[in-house]
Copies of this chain bind each other. A is one copy, B any other.
């Protein structure tokens, strides 16, 4: 029986068209990161499962991780996210290096998911983290993310950064509503799912957790807050002496305004980020397109990532941006360039067998000067050469006929301008074209 030609479920074959798009996206990620002085890193494809048990959310470990036992009896997993790896790496060197530490990476990750729009089993994720920078780090990471998405031609009409602060949420849940730890966790999970739930059902589940009409009302008021002004009023109303605890969130928004980012950022109390390790500001970047309302990226601040390695605390801020939802975003706003054809400079061909050697030499010389050149193999009729060159998007075709060979010349046809010239090979190579 013949083998299947399709890739494994939830993974992709990147043919040149898709690969050029991927390269274009990855190049922007690297370029923007380097403008902000972030340095590249990468870690192993496999990590011991223990690392994820210590750091990742339960769902990721129980349902989504690709884990197995290797031939040496180690229990390993294909990385489902990059944060545990970056924490492990930073734990090795953070005592010796100048801080802040700014790192970025674009790893391939795998999760066992039901493949659907914007979600696959194998995907790449841009990760950037800054360690040892406090609130400056939060400003910078979000500023850089905005700049990255702008670099694809998008503006505040296309996307927005929704921001919240876990310290504020904790204040509301534990002090203002007075929930115990296990109920706080339940409420976190519920809020995380808010936008995917029926409002009536959401409301009922909130009441079941708070089990008190007046507390449910405080919660309702909290999830309706839409600006930092609202936050101040809300906290003043219920616990004026807690204002200091929301000061970082308020000042963060002031910094964004100073940096001209006011049109991009928005307070949103429903952003809590399910994962356990965030301890401060959390955010998600959303597509504004009504038919593609989904998160492109998410991140936040964490204080205790190095603890599991017995290292002293080092605060960090990180962002993860998936290439799959990013492509959906670019697609939904028509921002994806056409990569269906390669960009090639010259097709070098010959009409008679004696042209082979000079054609090969010319191709070599043109490559030496940085041109993308294909050598047409074997002598061929002009008609065949031109029909081939059009399929492949060459800027020009050079060819050697009997006449040209006699005079050490080459005929060059510019396919864009539809012009043609016959020129001495030596002059052509020297750039007189």
A residues with a Cβ closer than 8 A to B are 2-5, 7-9, 11-16, 19-20, 22-23, 34-37, 39-48, 50-51, 54, 66, 68, 70-72, 74, 76, 78, 85, 88-89, 91-93, 98, 100, 102-103, 108, 110, 112, 122, 133-134, 136-137, 140, 147, 258-259, 308-310, 342, 344, 357, 360-361, 364, 367, 370-375, 377-378, 388, 391-392
- Rounded to whole angstroms, the CA-CA distance of A44 and B14 in the bound complex is 8
For residue A22, which residues in chain B have a CB less than 8 angstroms away from its CB? 42
For residue A110, which residues in chain B have a CB less than 8 angstroms away from its CB? 45-46
9 smallest CB-CB distances across A and B, nearest first, come from A11-B44, A2-B310, A68-B68, A16-B39, A37-B374, A136-B377, A14-B42, A19-B40, A35-B367
Determine how close the nearest CB of chain B comes to the CB of A368; give it in whole angstroms: 9
Beyond A16-B40, A45-B78, A98-B392, 15 additional contacts (C-beta under 8 Å) are A2-B309, A3-B88, A3-B308, A5-B309, A7-B47, A13-B44, A13-B85, A14-B42, A14-B43, A36-B373, A45-B45, A66-B68, A98-B391, A258-B357, A259-B360
Please determine whether B367 and A7 come into contact, CB atoms closer than 8 angstroms: no
For residue A34, which residues in chain B have a CB less than 8 angstroms away from its CB? 372
For residue A51, which residues in chain B have a CB less than 8 angstroms away from its CB? 3
Please determine whether A91 and B5 come into contact, CB atoms closer than 8 angstroms: yes
For residue A133, which residues in chain B have a CB less than 8 angstroms away from its CB? 377
Closest chain B residue to A32, Cβ basis = B367
- Rounded to whole angstroms, the CA-CA distance of A92 and B2 in the bound complex is 13
For residue A367, which residues in chain B have a CB less than 8 angstroms away from its CB? 35-36, 147
Q: Which of A3, A42, A140, A375 has the most CB of B within 10 A?
A: A3
For residue A122, which residues in chain B have a CB less than 8 angstroms away from its CB? 44-46
Determine how close the nearest CB of chain B comes to the CB of A338; give it in whole angstroms: 15
